[in-house]
Amino acid sequence: MPGRPDPDRAAALKDWEAVFGSPPPSYLSVALMQKAIGHECQCKRAGGLPAATRRALLRISAGEDVAAAAPTKLNNGARLVREWNGRSYHVDVIEGGFRMDDRTWPSLSAIAKHITGTTWSGPRFFGLTSRGST
């Protein structure tokens, strides 16, 4: 009913200010405020995000490309697939190297060079980085 204050909204506004220390944006619904308040309280109880995640989020908010800087860890059993000149190449990550076409390779870069005939960053060739940083 217009003109009547919403008790749920008033409670959510009060809780928001207590948790975040400032008023919420005016467009937030009560349901969204309640979810955000619950999430923030859970983060405070559990210790929040890991430091590396917080740093990455700060870099993202500053417009940096964190995918290029973050090395990708490949676990044994992972499979990489790359199509090159109409052929699909399947590379399995194994203990101490990589396996492709019944042959063991010491690095992705060696495989990329074998496939293309020229020097490549293996992680970049297989799409593990967005720039040639590794």
- Same domain, yes or no, for 55 and 84? no
Q: Which two tokens stand for residue 72?
A: 């990708």
Identify the pLDDT of residue 4: 67
Identify the pLDDT of residue 58: 85
How many folded domains does the chain comprise?
Answer: 2
- Same domain, yes or no, for 12 and 63? yes
Distance CA(48)–CA(130), nearest Å, equals: 28
- Same domain, yes or no, for 21 and 62? yes
Distance CA(17)–CA(88), nearest Å, equals: 55
pLDDT tens, position by position, 25-71: 888 999 999 999 998 898 888 887 778 778 888 888 888 766 655 55
Shortest CA distance to 122 belongs to which of 103, 104, 98, 102? 98
- Same domain, yes or no, for 11 and 62? yes
- Same domain, yes or no, for 55 and 98? no
Which residues constitute the domain of residue 97?
79-125
Q: Using DSSP bridges, classify how beta strands 87-94 and 103-105 pair: parallel, antiparallel or unpaired.
A: unpaired
- Same domain, yes or no, for 86 and 113? yes
- Same domain, yes or no, for 43 and 92? no
Please name the helix (run of DSSP H) or strand (run of DSSP E) that holds residue 125, with its range, or none. helix 122-125
Q: Is 125 exposed, middle or buried (0-12, 13-18, 19+ CB in 10 A)?
A: buried
In a domain, 86, yes or no: yes
Residue with tokens 């890991």: 50
Distance CA(51)–CA(33), nearest Å, equals: 25
Predicted TM-score of the model (pTM): 0.46
